[in-house]
Amino acid sequence: MTGAGIGAELVPRPPVAISSSTEPATTTCRRRAGMLCIGIALFNLIGLAGDLCSPMLLSRQPMVVVLLSPRTAYLVATAHDVPFALFLGVAVLRLCAVDPLHFMLGRTMGPAALAAIRRIELVRRVIDRLPRTGTIWMVGIAGSPTAKTMCAAGAAGLPGRGAAAANVAGTIARVLVIWMAGRAVPGAGATMATVAPWIAVPGGVALVATATLRRFRRPARAVAG
């Protein structure tokens, strides 16, 4: 009885020791992910401010609008009135500014971030069809230099320098295409810029409201379960 009792007490001890040793690492990852999400949220708020101010600033300070909110509509609208070097530098800098945060978020969260991004059907199909080689991944990043792609690249364990180089190269190519489109159809770009705030602002409010509702519903579901 006594030996059995001692053995019964010793069995649970290893899991307790393991969980206590992994808890600090888990807490650190959560804190790091939280800080990265705060940074991404700040960029989103800056973009929302740019949408709100775009009707006033597009005719006076178009590059300020691009710095605040680098939407394709604003880039197309400003390409006809801004020197190429200034347009290229500001657009690439602003478009790439938030991508490192998404990459680090993917690297921090690892498989969880990759599983979350795979919920998007198109992204999942692309990831499943890509061979498990770094070169193909870099081509994918260059072809789609977006936040979702960088998050997936970080979660997949790609090297940071290679992912950054591919992201910058893809962004430069994208900006060049937008520049040519803006120079070709300046009237269409101005129209897009006029309509964009009326679409972006309600969309941003809807996203914030949805995230808030989900945040408050999670505890209720946990208690019910």
pLDDT band at 204 (very low <50, low <70, confident <90, very high): low
How far apart (Å, rounded) are the C-alpha atoms in residues 206 and 174? 28
Structure tokens at 72: 């394709």
pLDDT greater than 60 at residue 93: yes
Residues 111-129 have pLDDT tens digits of 666 676 677 777 777 667 6
Structure tokens at 2: 């006594």
Least confident of 26-35, 141-150, 199-208: 199-208
Q: Which of 29-38, 183-192, 208-217 has the highest mean pLDDT?
A: 29-38
Please indicate, yes or no, whether the overall pTM of this predicted structure exceeds 0.75.
Answer: no
Residue 180 CB coordination number (10 Å) = 12
Better-predicted residue by pLDDT, 31 or 120: 31
Does residue 137 carry a pLDDT above 60?
yes
Residue ranges per structural domain of the chain:
18-211
